[in-house]
């Protein structure tokens, strides 16, 4: 899948220390009207809920950047669940205080930059070398109900932290047009744009962005 589906003003963010408890990450992320979100590693049992969240996120937050035909095509191809990443244990699901599924996303140590199980382009499943390659930031979706509450930034932080624990110091993503502003604020820079086929003669524009962590 592609990059972020919500733009969150950096001035509203206040991240408190998070703790890792087994496969669950307790993230205390406070914004106006929100207490905290809880993240854990996604499992196959989450797939049905994730599919519904993707549909709501794309239809609710992407209409200003892609046409109706592009959205319908993307929901059937690239905006789909990548089950390999769930198997790899590199995806997170995020829940609101009341237990409602609010968002999901993560990272990958494989070469595929974007897409899902039903994408038209070939999936590149080869593993990356943390010493020379950039970890891929993948498929960050936020339900419109929780947009602009900092959740997209929180998932991104969790993905970057997990990748760094595996030895990666560079990140790469295929961002939707909607996510470029947020990712730029988070230190990513645009390097190119590509047109991704989504069926029915339609394509969507995707922005390749990169970021490096400089250790002091």
Contact 142, 179 (CB under 8 A): no
Q: Can you give the pTM of this predicted structure?
A: 0.82
Dist. CA 139–CA 117, nearest whole Å: 12
Work out whether the CA dihedral 73, 76, 77, 82 comes out positive or negative.
positive
Q: Which residues of 79-97 are buried (b: 16+ CB within 10 A; e: fewer)?
A: bbbbebbbebebbbbbbbe
- HSE toward the beta carbon, residue 138, CA cutoff 13 A: 32
- pLDDT tens sequence for the chain (216 residues): 444 333 333 322 323 334 444 455 544 433 333 448 999 999 999 999 999 999 999 999 999 999 999 999 999 999 999 888 899 999 999 999 999 999 999 999 999 888 766 665 556 679 999 999 999 999 999 999 999 999 999 999 999 999 999 999 999 999 999 999 999 999 999 999 999 999 999 999 999 999 998 765
Question: Any idea how long the chain is?
Answer: 216
Strands 135-142 and 101-108: antiparallel
């Amino acid at each position: 899948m592609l990059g972020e589906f919500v733009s969150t003003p950096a001035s509203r963010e206040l991240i408190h220390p998070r703790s890792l408890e087994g496969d669950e990450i307790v993230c205390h992320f406070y914004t106006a009207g929100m207490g905290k979100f809880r993240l854990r590693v996604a499992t196959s049992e989450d797939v049905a809920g994730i599919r519904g969240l993707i549909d709501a996120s794309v239809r609710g937050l992407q209409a200003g950047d892609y046409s109706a035909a592009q959205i319908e095509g993307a929901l059937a191809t690239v905006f789909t669940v990548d089950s390999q990443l769930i198997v790899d244990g590199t995806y997170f699901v995020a829940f609101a205080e009341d237990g409602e599924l609010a968002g999901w996303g993560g990272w990958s140590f494989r070469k595929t930059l974007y897409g899902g199980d039903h994408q038209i382009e070939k999936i590149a499943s080869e593993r990356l070398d943390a010493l020379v390659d950039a970890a891929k930031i993948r498929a960050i979706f936020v339900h419109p109900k929780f947009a602009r509450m900092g959740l997209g930034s929180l998932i991104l932080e969790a993905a970057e932290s997990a990748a760094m624990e595996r030895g990666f110091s560079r990140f790469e993503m295929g961002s939707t047009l909607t996510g470029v502003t947020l990712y730029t604020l988070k230190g990513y820079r645009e390097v190119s744009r590509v047109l991704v086929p989504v069926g029915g003669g339609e394509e969507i524009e995707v922005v390749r962005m990169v970021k490096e962590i400089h250790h002091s």
